[in-house]
Amino acid sequence: MDAVTYPEKAVIGFVSNHVIPLRIPSDQRPLAQEFKVSWTPTLVTLDTDGKEHHRTVGFLPPEELIPSLMLGIGKTCLDLGQFNEAIGQFEKIVTEHARSAAVPEAIFFLGVARYKHTKDPKNLRLAYDRLIADFPNDEWAKRARPYSLIT
């Protein structure tokens, strides 16, 4: 990713404005062991307490790295109960990175974040309906299948 992804202007801007990057070699002890980094690149999104919320393993091109990092930010916000912030991150992935492989997962978690924020289960059903309409064979559509029972 050093040769292709990291030097990209959009990636530099996003990383500079939204995350605190830390590079750890996969053989560095104890951090690589503590965070179970056995292959590079492994990107782990942590909160300020060092708790993991998202992980990717393997190369990501520039157009996929930013949405992946946004998923990490959104999942962190969701886990911390910051529902408006989570919703905003997931919506941005869907609207600003519509061709990204991260979109189905963002739709899934957008439904979850909206449900947790409003307690209205119809938000889960809406996420399922969108996944089935736009990504019927994606794993996130399959994971959302139980939401089809919500009326």
pLDDT confidence of residue 24: 84
> pTM of the prediction?
0.92
pLDDT at residue 16 is higher than 90: yes
pLDDT confidence of residue 26: 81
Q: Which CATH architecture has domain 9-149?
A: Alpha Horseshoe (1.25)
Residue 29 — pLDDT band, cuts 50, 70, 90?
Answer: confident
Backbone angles phi, psi at 57, to 5 degrees: -130, 130
pLDDT at residue 13 is higher than 80: yes
Interval 99-113: pLDDT, tens: 999 999 999 999 999
Interval 50-64: pLDDT, tens: 999 999 999 999 999
pLDDT at residue 68 is higher than 80: yes
